[in-house]
Amino acid sequence: MPLDAICLAAVRNELAGRILGLKVDKVRQPERDIIILSLKGPGVQTHRLLISVRAGAARVHLTEHKFDNPKSPAMFCMLLKKHLGGARIKDVTQPPSERLLTLELETSDAMGVKSEKSLVIELIGHQANIVLKDSGGLIIDCLRRVGSSLSEKRPVLPGLIYRNPELQEGKLNPLNITVAELNELINNENASTVDKLLISTFTGMSPLICRELSWRAYGETDYRIERITDGGDALCSAFQALMQQVKSNAYEPWMILVNDNTPYDFAFTHIAQYETAYKTKLENSFSEMLDSFYTRSEQRLRISQKCSATLKLMKTAYNRLFRKLSVQRLELEETSKQDYLRECGDIITSNLHRIKRGQEALSAEDYYSQSGKLRVIKLDPLKTPSQNSAKYYKAYTKAKNARIFLTEQIKTGETELDYIESVIEQLKRTETAHELDEIRSELTSTGYIKAHTQKRSKQAESVHYKFISASGMRIYVGKNNMQNDKLTLKTASKSDIWLHAQKIHGAHVIISCAGEYPDEKTLSEAASIAAYYSSARSDTKVPVDYTFAGKVKKPPGGRPGMVIYTDFKTIFAVPDEELVKQLRESR
């Protein structure tokens, strides 16, 4: 759903309680239509304020998500850095029932002269925009410049006086309506259903909230107007109760989830219209709710799109190798006849005196058989008896050598197939473009991606996932094969505890012990994290092996991420996403 004006009012209240007085430390523009303001206060904690004007995902909230920065900042980002660097947030305002938020800022120029500026965030559909204006209302610049050719009524350009977007004509503010006026509207309206009446009459209310009011009043989301028999009393009662909740700032961040806990919708009040079809969950804050609903899902989608080419490449390599192994296994089965070929050569050799040139078969006693029955051996009539014997010995030698070769090839192929599966699993878990670059770098070193001849700028390594257990012990998780190797074989101490989902693909997990063996709860939490970051994430229980990091070794010639370990124990763990979120350090 779009962020409606009432829900935005809830966000404004929350932001006013958290960011007033903070100073703008950094300005970033990771995407064309996203601005991130890093805000710092007297303490060391930094808040990241996300402002998005993306169509269908326009919003403003605090975020815990870390974005990858572009190689060079955009022009609008540079302008915001110049004007807002060090600025203090004085106020966060919102016009009544409008999807518009303004950050009032106090800034100082190079000479220390103080001035006031405003960052206006317009979250209005396809016209969403971010506008920087001075104390006199003059537009300094905006993210999207709107000339007279695009909007004759309201151009938005540097140097013009800023004017708020025009209100929707004919629509009313739901907070100012009286019971009598609402009753009159219900009895004189030509709309077909209650929700359509509310949508067409009031500004700032989303379709979800209008359907919920219809549900609360009459038990149906699309209750028809002509069926109302109480003069609209039930609807008036539900409407006034909701508006009283809004007026008293009693907002609640409710998330609506499908059965697999995927976010479906959200609201500022509890939604009952879906009954048991969907689940509802009360989040800790509106920022946390919006971050989960928009930011993480958008990030997953963007990374999924970026990963698609690499994922397709690895799946093609997997299928090709799988077919090759299938053929090799069939060929290996054929070599199982090698002993039969040698036996045939032996029987022919012991019966050379009985074979005549031109003979097509030999029927002789099979002394390799316990019953001593006759064996019929096919002969080449164009060859001498000795040549027929040599032919079977040669076929035996060829089959024996082929068996040795195929056994080695199949073993190598199965190891390679396992490695490809691990890369595919990691590509599915990739969260940032930097992590994808690391995996692609690994695939370049292993020969799956052709190396570019041009020099590439050196990038800093991404940091492994960090967690803190309930008892305060640190837990680290590798994001890809290269990180798994470094974390387990170089970073971890020999006395640290190493965990991995048993016999399946997953991340290496390290409990940093600092000479102290972890308590049972920490071990259980780390095992749950290992189960979550594995290919068995959707299972209810996952066996997880654990041992000292010093018992984990790299096999000779092993691919990245592959290890062998000894002296391990096994614990069964639940891949708990909520626990993972709770223990994970801010990214």
pLDDT of 454 higher than 50: no
CA distance 145 to 138: 14
Q: 12-70: per-residue pLDDT in tens?
A: 999 999 999 999 999 999 989 999 999 998 876 789 999 999 888 899 999 988 787 88
**Phi, psi (5° rounding) for residue 250?**
-90, 55
Mean pLDDT (the chain) is 89
CA distance 388 to 394: 10
Q: DSSP readout, 207-242?
A: HHHHHHHHHHHHS-TT-BGGG--STTHHHHHHHHHH
What is the residue extent of each domain of the chain?
5-142, 174-287, 313-462, 465-583
Name the band, by pLDDT with cuts 50, 70 and 90, for residue 1.
low
Q: Which residue do the tokens 């370990």 mark?
A: 565
What pLDDT shows up at residue 165?
83
Name the band, by pLDDT with cuts 50, 70 and 90, for residue 235.
very high
Q: Is the dihedral of CA 76, 81, 82, 83 positive or negative?
A: positive
CB contact set of 553 (below 8 Å; sequence gap of 6+): 563, 564, 565
CATH number for the domain running over 5-142: 2.30.310.10
pLDDT of 339 higher than 90: no
Name the band, by pLDDT with cuts 50, 70 and 90, for residue 497.
very high
pLDDT of 303 higher than 90: no
Q: 185-206: per-residue pLDDT in tens?
A: 887 767 789 999 999 899 889 9
The C-alpha angle with vertex 538 and arms to 534 and 542, in degrees rounded to 5, equals 60
Name the band, by pLDDT with cuts 50, 70 and 90, for residue 335.
confident
What pLDDT shows up at residue 499?
97
Alpha helices per DSSP H over 142-293:
179-188, 194-201, 207-218, 233-247, 286-290
Name the band, by pLDDT with cuts 50, 70 and 90, for residue 125.
confident
pLDDT of 97 higher than 80: yes
Q: What are the angstrom distances between the C-alpha of 427 and each of 346, 435, 513, 561, 578?
A: 56, 9, 30, 14, 22
Q: 241-291: per-residue pLDDT in tens?
A: 999 999 999 999 999 998 767 888 999 999 999 998 899 999 999 999 999
pLDDT of 217 higher than 60: yes
Single-letter residue type at 201: T
Domain 5-142 identical in fold to domain 174-287: no
What pLDDT shows up at residue 168?
65
Selection from 124, 165, 159 nearest residue 142 by Cα: 159
What pLDDT shows up at residue 587?
45
Single-letter residue type at 467: F
Q: What are the angstrom distances between the C-alpha of 560 and each of 10, 456, 483?
A: 48, 22, 9
Query: What is the pTM for the complete model shown?
Result: 0.64
Beta-carbon-side half-sphere exposure of residue 60 (alpha carbons within 13 Å) = 32
Q: What are the angstrom distances between the C-alpha of 467 and each of 266, 428, 508, 541?
A: 28, 21, 13, 21
What pLDDT shows up at residue 391?
92
Please report, for the chain, how many H helices and E strands are present, in that order. 14, 22
CA distance 472 to 469: 5
Q: What are the angstrom distances between the C-alpha of 538 and each of 299, 335, 533, 574, 576?
A: 21, 41, 10, 9, 10
pLDDT of 501 higher than 50: yes
% residues pLDDT > 90 (the chain): 60
What pLDDT shows up at residue 179?
84
Other Cβ atoms closer than 10 A to 371:
5
Q: Which CATH number fits domain 174-287: 1.10.3470, 3.40.50, 2.60.40, 1.10.8?
A: 1.10.8
What pLDDT shows up at residue 546?
97
- Asked if residues 196 and 188 have their Cβ atoms less than 8 Å apart, the reply is no
Selection from 87, 2, 86 nearest residue 52 by Cα: 2
Residues 539-578 as b/e (b if ≥16 CB within 10 A, e otherwise) read: eeebbbbbbbbeebeeeeeebbbbbebeebeebebebeee
pLDDT of 75 higher than 60: yes
584 against 92, higher pLDDT: 92
**Mean pLDDT to the nearest integer, 337-352:** 89
